[in-house]
Amino acid sequence: MFRQWSPSSLKARFRSFFPSLFTTPQSPIRAMSTTANATYGHKEHNYTMLQAFEWYVDGDGKHLSKVKSELPRLDHMGITAMWLPPPTKASSTNSVGYDVYDIWDLGEFDQKGARGTKFGSKEELVDTIKTAKDKFGIITYIDAVLNHKFGADRTERFKAVEVAWDDRTRNVSDPYDIEGWTAFDFTGRGGKYSDFKWNFNHFTGVDYNAENGKKAIYKILGDNKGWALAVDSENKNYDYLMGADIDHAHPDVQKDLFNWGNWVLQETGAFGFRFDAIKHIDENFMREFVKHVRASDGYSQVFCVGEFWKDSLTDLEAYLGRFSEQFSVFDTPLHYNFKQASDEGDRFDLRSIWDGSLVKNMPVDAV
């Protein structure tokens, strides 16, 4: 028979097993996750975020409705915030959303084979977020995929140079013209919300030449073009990850993305972001994006967490140390500690679970 523990008993037992976690010196800055929950929700303590989806969710367009139906249970469990999957239109109907096509389409327009996303319609998205907040005090964070785009409407010809896969700073070809999928017209949306159309000038690289079918990393050439410098140093420069890599230094790109940041919160009723693949995005852009969103009336306390997926406490601490705004990242080293514990079973010393983790060293900024 399993023993049932009350929440207070569980908390006390947890503290007895891991006292060091609760004696770590805390930053004088209050965790933005706490502030966001307190400001925008109506729960008083024990703030807990849930990832309200997983990679293999059925692609029947009903997930958002399912999340809504589960809200009473989530409330009873003590959930105070949820991270929903990317709400933006992807390049295919059954996509989880990380191959983003149109950030201004939240399942409203007939694009890429369907009106809704894999998870449901815009109406269902807004209704789920509103119900969660108004009835249960659960606030929502938007999964923002701002590193790249997929599913371009047309190809374009432009000059590029091939670079090495393991050293993006080393050219392995002479410059030449290629044909890349970089023209995004969004004809199905017809300019609603944003009339910005993307072309090759708004990207730094692609990985496919449609003219000859060759796969390689192509750095797009032109005035003021090049990889972002304030990115992770893996592969000497890890700006390029996949698809058409967004040039966050381009002023037109910045304007459109900043506008979207304000709009998507106002349009959906969400109060924060989970940013995808931030180690590939220029740090300066990320700082300015967060600052811009928090400068809007009513959104000064929005929570922002980024996915900097690297098993390196040093790199995570350095990234956070350069961020002028309060910002959080997922505790990747802790994830790998848990994996090691799972692999080793009873051979793992549970007292070392926090070793080298962000939650031990910078708990205010750890998720």
Cα–Cα distance measured from residue 224 to residue 367, given in angstroms and rounded to the nearest whole number: 36
Cα–Cα distance measured from residue 283 to residue 319, given in angstroms and rounded to the nearest whole number: 8
Cα–Cα distance measured from residue 176 to residue 330, given in angstroms and rounded to the nearest whole number: 40
Question: Hey, is 215 helix, strand or coil?
Answer: strand
Catalytic pick from 276, 283, 315, 365? 276
Residue 194: how many other CB atoms lie within 10 Å: 16
Q: Nearest 5°: phi and psi at 35?
A: -65, -45
Q: How far is CA 341 from the centre of its chain?
A: 27
Active site residue 108: no
Q: How far is CA 26 from the centre of its chain?
A: 26
Catalytic pick from 127, 153, 179, 307? 307
Active site residue 344: no
Which residues touch 155 (CB under 8 Å, ≥6 apart)? 179, 180, 181, 182, 183, 210
- Paired tokens of 217: 């990393």
Nearest to 300 by CA among 272, 268, 264, 267: 272
Of the CA atoms within 13 Å of residue 58, those in its CB half-sphere come to 8
Nearest to 220 by CA among 207, 237, 235: 207
Cβ-contact 106, 260 below 8 angstroms: no
| One-character DSSP codes across 57-126 | --SSS-HHHHHHHHHHHHHHHT--EEEPPP-SEESSTT--SSSEEETT-SS-S-BTTBSSBTTB-HHHHH
Cα–Cα distance measured from residue 39 to residue 271, given in angstroms and rounded to the nearest whole number: 10
- Active-site residues: which are they? 276, 307
